[in-house]
Amino acid sequence: MKKNLLIYILLIGIFAVLIWFVIDAGKTLKPIGQNHFITNELSIIKPKVSAEVPQNETIWQQYFHNIKNPLGILLLQIIVILSVSKLFGSLMGKIRQPSVIGEMMAGIFLGPSIVGLIFPEFSDFIFPKASLNNLQFLSQIGLVFFMFIIGMELDLDKLKGKAQNALLISHASIIFPYFLGVMVSYFIYEEFAPANVSFLAFSLFMGIAVSITAFPVLARILQERGLTQTPLGIITIACAAFDDVTAWCILAVVIAIVKAGSIISALLTVLLALIFVLIMFYVIKPFIRKTGKTYSGTDALSKTTVVMSFLVLLISAYTTEVIGIHALFGAFIAGVIMPRDTGVKEKLMEKLEDVSISFLLPLFFAFTGLRTQIGLLNEGHLWVACALIIFVAVLGKFGGSAFAAKLTGQTWKDSFSIGALMNTRGLMELIVLNIGYDLGILSPSLFAIMVIMALVTTFMTGPLLDSINYFSNINSAKVNT
């Protein structure tokens, strides 16, 4: 032990002295480039940061500059966002709400509506406008991975047994609120639509914005309440799955119409999207399954197949972005085609789920919150419009789902429960709203109203289910007596 310690000290000491001698001798050297033509070329690629930082600044000033550089700001933002999201998620858990609601509220809290209003200097320091692009790109990557996971969680085989009833309930829960969304667009278009946005694009988007269901939040609520394997849970999961697929297809068409600008261009975009989907299902999916079976049970599965699956994800997302129907649709389709019988889905979800949901999604919530300016709703009629949109959203989704469920032979209790669960919007709604905001369809004030609607309809799911169970038990007790 002592011998090793002595060798260690001598080794480090000797080379430290040698390094010092070389550095001391090098003080007299001068770079040839100072008097050479290459100096001008090097100055072109010289880092700008070094020119901005004074040479005679104190050590504390250097630390301050380090904090304010883009990477330092991004890391600080991530620390703040994850900490606040964890706190709000824990608080929501105490009142039997999914943690995702807390993360959504954390995003609003960190934005200009609360922190930016009360502590503007702190908000400007943590979230300077110049840094938001970096946060946006990172959150978009998180969404691509998240939609990939959502696609992998969708088991098409399990939907076949419940296809007829689930399809009826799901599409009724889309078409009725979609109609109401288009109707309400007629009354709010002139005041809330941005300039140069056609009524066609505005109304079609508002229809999908009030028709969406949050599949992951719904699944989490069912899991927390122990309803996943019950008849109610199975039919609701099937409805939400059909809802997700249908809604994303409709959204892809709406985006195509908005971006294309003409019917012919939109039809071409839709045609390209259909060709893309067919290639993914009938060419790429069999290829992935064959490769997965070839390497199944070997260590190569975690290398060859996983890397290939990531490439499929990225190429699929890139293709749909180029076509004009958004990268998230491509990520979703890439997840759907991942074969379940080769172990590929389980391996990929194991690698992606924690990073995507626990790390990257809170960044998206925070970015959405930084866009949400509730302070813009500073007049009474704006809050009336907000209440109207919430009422329309709840009536369309809750009412449409419950009525359709009753038509398929469900009990009133299960019908109302399905309606309450399908009324959950959560994260999927925020994704849709951000797409609409980026496309210029939603004004800042309408974006704030729609975010509030997403929060309210998601928050009310738990209390609605409790109320339905409570009144159902009371009626059962009366019947028994």
The pLDDT of residue 254 is 84
User: 177 is written with which tokens?
Assistant: 């609120």
The pLDDT of residue 33 is 56
Q: What is the pLDDT of residues 195-247, one digit of tens each?
A: 888 898 899 999 999 998 887 778 778 877 777 778 888 888 888 878 877 88
Report the amino acid identity of residue 246: T
Q: What is the mean pLDDT of residues 117-142?
A: 88
The DSSP annotation for 344-393 comes to HHHHHHHHHHIIIIIIIHHHHHHHHHHH--GGG--SHHHHHHHHHHHHHH
Range name among 48-62, 342-356, 422-436 with the lowest pLDDT average: 48-62
User: How far is the C-alpha of 109 from the C-alpha of 44, rounded, in Å?
Assistant: 43
Q: What is the pLDDT of residues 10-24, one digit of tens each?
A: 888 898 888 888 888
pLDDT band of residue 385 (cuts 50, 70, 90) is very high
Is the pLDDT confidence value at 382 over 50?
yes
Element (H, E) at 99: helix 99-110
Is the pLDDT confidence value at 42 over 80?
no
Is the pLDDT confidence value at 51 over 50?
no
Range name among 8-12, 278-282, 341-345, 474-478 with the lowest pLDDT average: 341-345
Q: Which of 397, 458, 448, 420 is nearest to 177 (CA)?
A: 397
Domain boundaries, the chain: 78-472
User: 29 is written with which tokens?
Assistant: 């050297």
Is the pLDDT confidence value at 450 over 90?
yes
User: How far is the C-alpha of 113 from the C-alpha of 102, rounded, in Å?
Assistant: 16
pLDDT band of residue 45 (cuts 50, 70, 90) is very low
Check if the beta carbon of residue 213 is closer than 8 Å to that of residue 244: yes
The pLDDT of residue 37 is 47
The pLDDT of residue 297 is 60
Check if the beta carbon of residue 347 is closer than 8 Å to that of residue 338: no
Cα three-residue angle 69-70-75, rounded to 5 degrees: 100
Region of residue 6 (phi > 0: left; psi between -120 and 50: alpha; otherwise: beta): alpha
Q: Which of 414, 340, 416, 397 is nearest to 158 (CA)?
A: 340
Instruction: Name the more confident of 262 and 115.
Output: 115
Q: What is the mean pLDDT of residues 237-262?
A: 80
Q: Which of 411, 441, 458, 434 is nearest to 140 (CA)?
A: 434
pLDDT band of residue 70 (cuts 50, 70, 90) is confident
Is the pLDDT confidence value at 363 over 70?
yes
User: How far is the C-alpha of 54 from the C-alpha of 63, rounded, in Å?
Assistant: 13
Q: Which of 268, 311, 272 is nearest to 291 (CA)?
A: 311
Please provide the CATH number assigned to the domain covering 78-472.
1.20.1530.20
Average pLDDT taken over every residue of the chain: 83
Q: How many CA atoms lie within 13 A of 143 on its CB side?
A: 26
Tell how far CA 404 is from the center of its chain.
Answer: 29
User: How far is the C-alpha of 66 from the C-alpha of 51, rounded, in Å?
Assistant: 14
Q: What is the mean pLDDT of residues 23-47?
A: 61
Report the amino acid identity of residue 401: S
pLDDT band of residue 38 (cuts 50, 70, 90) is very low
Check if the beta carbon of residue 372 is closer than 8 Å to that of residue 451: yes
pLDDT band of residue 44 (cuts 50, 70, 90) is very low
Check if the beta carbon of residue 180 is closer than 8 Å to that of residue 210: yes
- Which range, 95-109, 172-186, 244-258, is most confident? 172-186
